């Protein structure tokens, strides 16, 4: 047996028995050093619509070290994570997630004026973007596509073909400018030069807000959040 040094597996399959059988075999032979679960807060914040995430608790049947990583786990919800992952007596290691390079701006507008105001804000910001990037978060797929049409830019939501989503993200990364998205763009995005984030919807939760906002300013550049 010649196992890989690192195995990457989708969270949607890591808790299923076909992968667990493979992991248990490595564990029994002393070849499994640790299991790392990234974005572990999703095991309780997203499992209601992504049921397979709830199966990640099955990883606890392995005897190796389990490492849970997240940048958006508030202390007051540690019990939620403990229940979702069958964690007892865990050691929590925390670091500051404060982002002093982000400037928060709030505009109060009528619901009927929200889209046109958002378009005007983006059009003004476009003159400042150059090769930098911005994200506009919308509440629905229809609003996402409508906003993108007004801005003449790409859009991203879960209803699109996976290859199409990837192509649009790659184009946005290479060309800069805006991309309009739903919360589907909230995780797994790690690109430089994201300096503008605009919300055209009510926040779903503080955790989602922190996750989505965390896409910007990772290279230390100043960010405007509207």
- Say yes or no: 116 and 80 in one domain: no
Give residue 174's pLDDT: 87
Choose the weakest-confidence range: 29-43, 97-111, 202-216.
202-216
Q: Is pLDDT at 177 greater than 70 in this prediction? A: yes
Residue 23 pLDDT class (50, 70, 90 cuts): very high
Which are the contacts of 221, defined by CB distance < 8 A and separation ≥ 6? 101, 132, 193, 195
Is 80 a residue whose pLDDT tops 80?
A: yes
Lowest mean pLDDT of 28-37, 155-164, 186-195, name the range.
186-195
Whether 200 and 181 have beta carbons less than 8 Å apart is answered as no
Residues 128 and 217 in one domain: yes
Mean pLDDT of 42-58: 86
Residues 15, 121 within the same domain:
no
Same domain, 180 and 76: no
Q: How far apart are CA 46 and CA 52, in angstroms?
A: 10
Last residue of a domain, one of 54, 84, 114: 84
List of residues 6+ apart from 113 with CB closer than 8 A: none
Say whether both 61 and 158 belong to one domain: no
CATH number at residue 175: 3.40.50.300
Residue 1, in any domain of the structure: no
Query: Could you give the number of structural domains in the chain?
Result: 2
44 lies in a domain? Answer: yes
- For residue 56, give its domain range: 11-84
| Residue 199: pLDDT over 80 | yes
Q: How far apart are CA 182 and CA 31, in angstroms?
A: 41
Q: Which residue has the tokens 């919308």?
A: 138
- Summarize the confidence of residues 162-180 as an average pLDDT: 88
Tell me, yes or no, whether 173 lies in a domain.
Answer: yes
Query: Above 90 in pLDDT, residue 36?
Result: yes
Mean pLDDT across 67-71: 88
Q: Which pTM does this prediction carry?
A: 0.73
DSSP 71: S
Question: What percentage of the chain has pLDDT greater than the value 70?
Answer: 96
Q: Give the SS3 label for residue 192.
A: coil
Lowest mean pLDDT among 91-95, 163-167, 217-221: 217-221
Kindly state the average pLDDT of the residues 37-65: 88
Give the chain's mean pLDDT.
84
Position 122 scores a pLDDT of 84
Q: Are 28 and 135 members of one domain?
A: no
pLDDT band of residue 56 (cuts 50, 70, 90) is very high
Percent of the chain clearing pLDDT 90 (strictly above): 16
Considering only residues 71 and 140, tell me which one the structure prediction assigns the higher pLDDT. Answer: 140
Residue 146 lies in a domain: yes
């Amino acid at each position: 047996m010649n196992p890989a040094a690192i195995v990457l597996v989708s969270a949607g399959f890591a808790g299923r028995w076909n992968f667990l059988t493979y992991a248990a075999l490595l564990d029994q032979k002393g070849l499994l050093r640790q299991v790392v679960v990234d974005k572990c807060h999703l095991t309780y914040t997203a499992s209601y619509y992504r049921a397979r995430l709830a199966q990640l608790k099955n990883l606890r049947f392995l005897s190796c070290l389990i490492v849970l990583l997240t940048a958006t786990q508030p202390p007051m919800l540690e019990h939620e994570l403990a229940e979702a992952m069958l964690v007892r007596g865990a050691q929590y290691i925390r670091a500051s997630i404060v982002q002093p390079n982000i400037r928060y701006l709030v505009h109060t507008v009528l619901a009927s004026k929200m889209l046109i105001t958002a378009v005007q804000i983006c059009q003004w910001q476009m003159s400042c973007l150059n090769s930098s990037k911005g994200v506009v978060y919308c509440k629905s797929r229809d609003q996402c596509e409508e906003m993108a049409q007004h801005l003449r830019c790409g859009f991203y939501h879960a209803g699109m073909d996976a290859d199409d989503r990837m192509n649009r993200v790659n184009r946005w990364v290479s060309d800069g400018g805006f991309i309009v998205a739903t919360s589907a763009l909230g995780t797994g995005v790690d690109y430089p030069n994201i300096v503008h984030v605009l919300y055209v919807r009510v926040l779903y939760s503080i955790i989602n807000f922190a996750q989505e906002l965390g896409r910007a300013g990772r290279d230390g550049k100043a960010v405007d959040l509207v």
